[in-house]
Amino acid sequence: MASQTDRHASSTGQALTGGAWLDVHFAAARPEYEVQLRAVGIQPGWRVLDAGCGGGSFLPLLADLVGPSGQLAALDLAPENVAAVRARAAALDLAAPLEAEAGSVTVVPYPDDAFDGLWCANVTQYLTDDELVAALMEFRRVVRPGGLIAIKDSDVSLARLPSGEPGLVPRLFEALDRAGSAQAHGNLRGPELRAFLRRTGLSGAWLRTILMERWSPYSPIEREYIRTLIATFAGAAEGVELSAAEGREWARLRDRGVAVLDDPGHYYRMGDVLAVGTVPA
């Protein structure tokens, strides 16, 4: 969606995967994200993998859920994110022991049945449909029978930025999808995640949608989060075919920068989906 020179990319080149940005993202969405993680069903004493952990924002809550009798493992494609996770774990004295490794969610470097549960947040949007199936098959392999696999990601069809055009973001992502952007396709695929869990043989699969909604005046962390999204999306809009009105609106948002967030009455919304399934016995 964005170029590899995006300053919020990690060393993988994927847009919005740098650890500093992920910390901002998590802080802005913390209430909704914690609700989703608590809803999964992770139990004390479990060994859980955070697959695609980023900078490790979810790890303190995961550690609280599994407790001192549990164990955590963290996996991320970007080595610098893994280093940040190790530093964070040492500084925070997590409630459960943690190991962190660099690796891909499509080739998970753990043996069969190594975990009781797996958490994967905001990662599958970077995968093609075939890569998503490969990742889910790996998740099923490393989670024991009866264990849980939880996928949290965006449903950008529900997104709305501080703009007079309510459908501006979904239409941009639809245009990016038509232009071949795997990340745009992944952000639109959220409502289908339950079907993908079923397709890869998981049982009892369910899906829940939750909205993150914020109103002006925005807090400092919300301003940074929304400002970055506006800049990223407006940059992406320059490279795809949109209507003249949509092009003008993205240019307006880009040119006004953070000032657009000062307008009273503005509203921001992002949709998330949480899909959870059980590895069959």
Closest CA to 41 of 278, 281, 227, 280: 278
Q: Between vectors from CA 212 to CA 187 and to CA 106, what angle results, nearest 5°?
A: 35
Confidence band (pLDDT; 50, 70, 90) for 103? very high
Closest CA to 227 of 239, 240, 216, 211: 216
Among 15-19, 192-196, 226-230, name the one with the lowest average pLDDT: 15-19
Average pLDDT over residues 140-167: 94
Answer yes or no: are the C-beta atoms of 210 and 31 closer than 8 Å: no
pLDDT at 165: 82
- State percent of the chain over pLDDT 90: 79
| Biggest CA-to-CA distance, the chain | 58
Q: How many CB atoms lie within 10 A of CB 27?
A: 16
- State how far the Cα of 190 lies from the Cα of 252, in Å rounded to an integer: 29
Average pLDDT over residues 176-186: 95
In whole numbers, what is the pLDDT of the chain averaged over residues?
92
Domain architecture of the chain: domains with CATH: 19-159+181-213+270-278 (3.40.50.150)
189 or 14: which carries more pLDDT confidence?
A: 189
Closest CA to 58 of 117, 114, 143, 135: 117
pLDDT at 5: 40
Confidence band (pLDDT; 50, 70, 90) for 4? very low
Structure tokens at 62: 């995961």
Phi/psi of residue 23, nearest 5 degrees? -65, -40
Q: Which helix (H) or strand (E) holds 229?
A: helix 220-237
90 or 184: which carries more pLDDT confidence?
A: 184
Between β-strands 143-160 and 115-121, what pairing exists: parallel, antiparallel or unpaired?
Answer: parallel
DSSP-derived letter for residue 219 is P
